[in-house]
Amino acid sequence: MSGRLRSLRTAGLLAALAAVMTGPTGDADHPLAGIRGSLAFPRVLFFAAAALVLWAALLGRDRLRAQARTLRGTALGRLAGPAGAGAGNGNGNGNGAGAATRPGATWLSGRRGAVLGHAALLAVALAVPPVLPTAAQQALVSEIGIYALLALGLNVVVGYAGLLDLGYIAFFAIGAYTTAYLTSADAMPWHAPWQLNPFFVLPIALLVAAVAGVVLGGPTLRLRGDYLAIVTLGFGEIVQLLANNADGVTGGPRGVFGLPPLSVELPGVRYSWGLDPLPYYYLLIALIVLVMVVFGRWERSRTGRAWTAIRQDEVAAEATGVATMRMKLLAFAVGASVSGFAGVVVATKQFFNPQSFGLQASLLVLTIVIFGGMGSRLGVVLGALVLQGTAFLLRDTVPPADRFIYFGAVVVLMMIFRPEGLLPPRAHRPRGSGPSRDRSVESVESVDSDGAAGTSRGVADQASPGVVS
């Protein structure tokens, strides 16, 4: 009963919140005007109705969960016997066990399914943009594509290694300013003696950003998580402050423009990325796919497991021989380098100034990672698409300044209701043979009574009888 009331309260609160967020704007002379307007007569009815619908949905969800729990409990209890026996019959040379790890794999649930799914998404991503209006293409590049790339990088830091980096955008700035330094003689007061093709800057910016990541991480990664967050936050602020104040070097608040566009000049092939957003879009797609492939490989490798281990218990990881400091630095440097990478693309495409690299940009990337699913590559890319896409579609309804109200709300709501994000990483999805994490207590016990008996025999058999003193 109290559970229902609690659900009602939650629903009411969320509806009221939505009403205020979407309501009219107030100002300092009429501080309550916004709220009063938000809860004015015709509107409030709509949101009250929304609250009731939400309440019903919450109740329905609870009921479904309860049913699923009882169902799973009985099913597991029945399955556990034969499954355990099957494993026991393996010949134990390891090959059998390896094969047994994926017994329930159906056509679409295995690796093949994942590859096909990714390919389909890629096909859509390649085919759809040309038919979109230019404004949407522009948004696909500078609001979605770039942020997807950034989110992939931050995902390594936050999602894999569990380190909260709030100054992430600083590496983006470093990449952008490095590009300006190396490619143009007049965009910034300070420039290199020779100018490079922006494509050659890509690896350089990647390295510079990675080094910056190591320099920042070296002393600070020893700190506890929340201290690290605040130190990186300060780092982001300082980079922005320096970019702003060092007029003689960066051009200060005026910003940087007029960098040469990306271009390919090979014998036989000459191409330059111009003002049209589409070529940039395809370049970004290529970079995103590249980064996703590399990180996917890492995710399943020793490196990925070491990161997960650190995230889940750093002390145990260290005691198990994981060089935690080095792995954390690696995560930091990798994240930073992706950010620097993205910086090159942005720098060659559009004007930027220190304001582009504020705290809110860092928080936006974080929001995308949280929303998409920490640790999930496809999740954060979709997160960028959904969040930034929605922001683009609603650009005439919601003023840009108000966007962060929604982003903030998204972060809190995700943390409360769906911490694993839109598309959880593989490890969180239910497995073929093992139970999912949230299975009920009853089922554990039913399975255990079975398994423990088997194991106690297995171990006892290994003792040689003569050694008993």
Partner 1 sequence: MGSAEQISQLAVDGLMVGALYAVIALGYTLVYGVLQLINFAHSEVFMLGAFGGLFACRALVPGDGATPAGLAAAGLVLVGLVAGAAAGGAAAYTLERCAYRPLRRRGAPRLAYLISAIGASLFAFNLAGKEFGRQSVPVPDLFANRTVVTVLGAEISTQSLVIAATALLMLLAVDHLVADTRLGLSIRAVAQDAECAGLMGVDVQRVIVVTFVLGGLLAGAGGFLYAMTFNASYTMGFVPGIKAFTAAVLGGIGNVRGAVLGGLLLGLVESFGGYLFDASYKNVIAFTVLVGVLLVRPSGLLGTRLGRPA
Partner 2 sequence: MSGATVPRPLPAPISRTIPQPRPSVADPILDVRDVTLRFGGLTSLDGVSLRQGRGSVLAVIGPNGAGKTSLFNCLTGAYRPQQGSARFWPTAPATSANPAGASALEGVGEGGVELVGRSPHRVARVGIARTFQNIRLFPEMSAVENVQVGVEVRARAGALRGLVPTRAVRREEREILERSHLLLDFVGLRHRVRWPAGSLAYGEQRRLEIARALGTSPSLLLLDEPAAGATASERRDLVALIRAIVDQGVSVLLIEHDIRLVAAVARSIVVLNFGRVIATGSPEQIRSDPAVVEAYLGDSDGRADDRAGDRTAGQAGDRADGREGRR
Binding residues (CB under 8 A) for partner 1: these are 13, 20-21, 25-29, 31, 34-35, 158, 162, 164, 166, 219-220, 222-223, 225-227, 229-231, 233-234, 237-238, 241, 245, 359-360, 363, 366-367, 370, 401-402, 404-405, 407-412, 414-416, 419
* 463 touching partner 2, by CB under 8 A: yes
Q: How far apart are CA 372 and CA 270, in angstroms?
A: 38
CB nearer to partner 2: pick between 147 and 298:
298
CB nearer to partner 1: pick between 75 and 394:
394
SS3 of 133, please?
Answer: coil
Element containing residue 269 per DSSP (H, E): strand 269-272
Question: Would you give the distance in Å from CA 181 to the centre of its chain?
Answer: 30
CB nearer to partner 2: pick between 10 and 433:
433
Q: How far apart are CA 397 and CA 12, in angstroms?
A: 24
CB contact at 8 A, 343 and 142: no
* 62 touching partner 2, by CB under 8 A: no
Q: Closest Cα partner for 337 from 237, 236, 204?
A: 204
* 435 touching partner 2, by CB under 8 A: yes
CB nearer to partner 1: pick between 22 and 446:
22
Q: How far apart are CA 168 and CA 151, in angstroms?
A: 10
Looking at 75, 97, 108, 241, which residue binds partner 2 (CB under 8 A)?
97
Question: Would you give the distance in Å from CA 382 to the centre of its chain?
Answer: 9
* Residue 84 interface partner, choices partner 1, partner 2, none, CB cut-off 5-8 Å depending on type: partner 2
Question: Going residue by residue from 387 to 426, which x/- string records binding to partner 2, judged by CB under 8 A?
Answer: ----------------------------------------
Q: Closest Cα partner for 200 from 213, 174, 181, 173?
A: 181
* Minimum gap (Å) between residue 110 Cβ and partner 1: 30
Which DSSP category does 435 fall into? P
Q: How far apart are CA 260 and CA 247, in angstroms?
A: 21
Would you list the DSSP string of 245-263?
Answer: H-HHHH-GGG-B--PPPPE
CB nearer to partner 1: pick between 201 and 363:
363
CB nearer to partner 1: pick between 92 and 419:
419
Looking at 82, 94, 219, 400, which residue binds partner 2 (CB under 8 A)?
94
* 429 touching partner 2, by CB under 8 A: no
Stretch that binds partner 2, among 14-22, 43-51, 149-157, 305-313 (CB under 8 A): 305-313
* Residue 309 interface partner, choices partner 2, partner 1, none, CB cut-off 5-8 Å depending on type: partner 2
* Minimum gap (Å) between residue 219 Cβ and partner 1: 6
Q: How far apart are CA 185 and CA 438, in angstroms?
A: 59
* 224 touching partner 2, by CB under 8 A: no
How many residues appear in the chain?
Answer: 469
* Minimum gap (Å) between residue 176 Cβ and partner 1: 22
CB nearer to partner 1: pick between 37 and 84:
37
Residue 438: count of CB within 10 angstroms of its CB: 10
Q: Following CA atoms 104, 109, 112, 114 in sequence, which dihedral angle do they give, to the nearest 10 degrees?
A: -150
Looking at 115, 238, 319, 412, which residue binds partner 2 (CB under 8 A)?
319
CB contact at 8 A, 205 and 340: yes
* Total site size for partner 2, rule CB under 8 A: 66
* 206 touching partner 2, by CB under 8 A: no
Site for partner 2 in 127-166 (CB under 8 A): none
Q: Write down the H helix ranges in 258-402.
A: 277-299, 302-312, 314-319, 324-349, 359-372, 377-393
* Minimum gap (Å) between residue 404 Cβ and partner 1: 4
Residue 271's φ and ψ, nearest 5 degrees, are -150, 140
Cα atoms found within 13 Å of the Cα of residue 263, Cβ hemisphere only: 14
CB contact at 8 A, 26 and 38: no
* Residue 227 interface partner, choices partner 1, partner 2, none, CB cut-off 5-8 Å depending on type: partner 1
Element containing residue 88 per DSSP (H, E): helix 41-88
- Summarize as ranges the residues that interact with partner 2 (CB under 8 A): 83-85, 87-90, 92-95, 97-98, 100-101, 294, 297-298, 301-303, 305-306, 308-309, 312-313, 315-324, 330, 427-428, 431-435, 437, 439, 444, 448, 451-452, 454-465, 467-469
